[in-house]
Chains A and B, each alone.
Chain A
Amino acid sequence: MLSDYFPLLIFVVVIVGFGVVAIVVPGFIGGHRPNAAADLAYESGIVPREGARRRFSVSFYLTAMLFIIFDVEAIFIYPWAVILKSLRWFGVAEMGVFVAILLVALIYIWAKGALEWGD
């Protein structure tokens, strides 16, 4: 079983090594002419007056929270999918109830306007 995952380890190590080399090497072979303007963040020609990190719309945060809920739901669905053929109608009923309750959650957040990005 564990031997199935061993090639994965080798692969990941090689690929990360490749990425690091690809990042480091051009630093030595590329030209280098320091320039005060090149050190500024790009703002379409305007000189930035402050750092970029500022507060952002709560919608992003809400999306991430709702995503966790439906991601956990999906995690429960995957094992059900592969054994459905042995669970039969019992399995359909089980998942029917589960999905129905989550549809209530989806309808609730929909009705509350959490899926709108208008403002």
Chain B
Amino acid sequence: MTEVVVVTLIKTAIILFALLTAFAYLTLFERVVQARLQARLGPNRVGPFGLLQPAADGVKLLFKETSGPATRDRFLYLAAPVLSLAVAFTAFTIVPVSGPTDLVVLGHRISWYVTNTNVGVLFYFALTSLGVYGIFLAGYASNSKYSLLGGLRSSAQMISYEMSLGLSLVPVFIVAGSFRLVDIVNAQRTWWFALPLLPAFIIYMIAGIAETNRAPFDLPEADTELVAGYHTEYGGMKFALFFMAEYINMVIVSSIATVMFLGGWWGPFGILPGPWWFLLKVVAVLFVYVWLRATLPRLRYDRLMQLGWKSLLPLSLAMMMATAVVVVAVQR
């Protein structure tokens, strides 16, 4: 019991630190990669190669004055960013960073994940569905028109893509026969699921990008019409928490994609240890995120909703039934 508490607290501290670092450098990574894709230099003044830029941004946000509309709902206004952040971080508890054997430290066997439950990925779906609250409440509590409309749009978008996000992973569950992420990664020892289940992978990535409100589906915060969307009225550290939640959600979507489709910690030829392969794949998926943002124009809101309901939903159902037929047909 005590051992579980101590080990979990250490893991929590490591994940908190790792995800905060990932968030800080993801913002820099995004700015530099986007700049290079557009033949610019990007931030390069703060520290060598601009590496201290995230620290400078963080310190700035920490010392900002706290202000907001006087007519806001104070409790909900403060609760919304905490909620968004907690939901984003908690999703990482189910991700196995390496395997298949546990890490042995001073005679204690330590697993490479926080939890590995029977419901596995379903818990991630539960968290994404709770993620709507932070965004909706931010928009509602601010009592500002841009915020409310942005929050409403954002939450409608999230629930519309949530179905496709869930259904696109069903083929993986069928093939692996489990929800446990560790089992799913182990089933990909020879073949990554991205190859046989390519359409499901593509649907998952589109739904995942829409679910995290990123370009080209970032209309909830379309600068030209809704300013900053649901977080228009947030500043300083409260804004930073939303920003953090958004980037950590990107990391989560990439991690789940790695586990579900890209073979998790398995790498060819066994040349690198598991965690490195995992990190490499997550960074590769994150690069796609940034690449898409630099390349694609934003969709119109009605087109966005129609893409979710009229294309992704039927396609993910079709992919699911097709996988079921093939799996049963080849089964002996």
* A adjacent to B, CB under 8 Å: yes
List the A side residues contacting B13 at CB < 8 Å.
14
Quick one: CB contact mask for B235-252 with A, threshold 8 Å, 1 for yes?
Answer: 011101100000000000
Assess whether B301 is in contact with A117, with CB atoms less than 8 Å apart.
Answer: yes
- Find the A residue at minimum CB distance from B71: A51
Assess whether B12 is in contact with A52, with CB atoms less than 8 Å apart.
Answer: no
Provide the main secondary structure of the chain B interface: helix
Provide the main secondary structure of the chain A interface: helix
Quick one: CB contact mask for B88-101 with A, threshold 8 Å, 1 for yes?
Answer: 01100100000000
> Nearest Cβ in chain A — how far from B260, in angstroms?
13
Q: How many A-B residue pairs have CB under 8 A?
A: 215
Assess whether B114 is in contact with A8, with CB atoms less than 8 Å apart.
Answer: yes
Assess whether B8 is in contact with A10, with CB atoms less than 8 Å apart.
Answer: yes
Does residue B166 face the partner (Cβ distance < 8 Å to A)?
yes
One of B46-54, B143-151, B270-278, B289-297 contacting the partner: B143-151
Assess whether B82 is in contact with A78, with CB atoms less than 8 Å apart.
Answer: no
Does residue B170 face the partner (Cβ distance < 8 Å to A)?
yes
> Nearest Cβ in chain B — how far from A80, in angstroms?
9
Those of B127-166 within 8 Å (CB) of chain A: 129, 140, 142-149, 152, 156, 159-160, 162-163, 166
Docked complex Cα distance between A60 and B148 (Å): 13
Does residue A32 face the partner (Cβ distance < 8 Å to B)?
yes
List the B side residues contacting A74 at CB < 8 Å.
163, 166-167
List the B side residues contacting A70 at CB < 8 Å.
163, 313
Does residue B67 face the partner (Cβ distance < 8 Å to A)?
yes
Assess whether B328 is in contact with A115, with CB atoms less than 8 Å apart.
Answer: no
Interface size class of A (residues with CB under 8 A): 35 or more
Indicate the member of A20, A22, A64, A66 with the most B CB atoms within 10 Å. A22
Assess whether B238 is in contact with A23, with CB atoms less than 8 Å apart.
Answer: yes
CB < 8 Å: which of A31, A48, A95 contacts B324? A95
Assess whether A115 is in contact with B62, with CB atoms less than 8 Å apart.
Answer: no
List the B side residues contacting A15 at CB < 8 Å.
12, 16, 85-86, 89-90
Docked complex Cα distance between A81 and B122 (Å): 12
Those of A1-19 within 8 Å (CB) of chain B: 1, 3-8, 10-12, 14-16, 18-19
> Nearest Cβ in chain A — how far from B327, in angstroms?
7
Docked complex Cα distance between A1 and B75 (Å): 36
Does residue B25 face the partner (Cβ distance < 8 Å to A)?
no
- Find the A residue at minimum CB distance from B314: A106
Docked complex Cα distance between A56 and B155 (Å): 14
List the A side residues contacting B240 at CB < 8 Å.
22
Chain A residues within CB distance 8 Å of chain B = 1, 3-8, 10-12, 14-16, 18-20, 22-23, 25-27, 29-33, 35, 38-44, 48, 51-53, 56, 59-60, 63-64, 66-67, 70-71, 74, 77-78, 81-85, 88-89, 91-92, 95-96, 99, 102-103, 106, 110, 115-118
Given A63-B305, A71-B129: 16 more A-B contacts, CB < 8 Å:
A6-B4, A7-B93, A11-B90, A15-B85, A23-B238, A26-B238, A40-B69, A43-B146, A48-B144, A52-B143, A52-B147, A84-B174, A84-B324, A92-B321, A99-B321, A115-B309
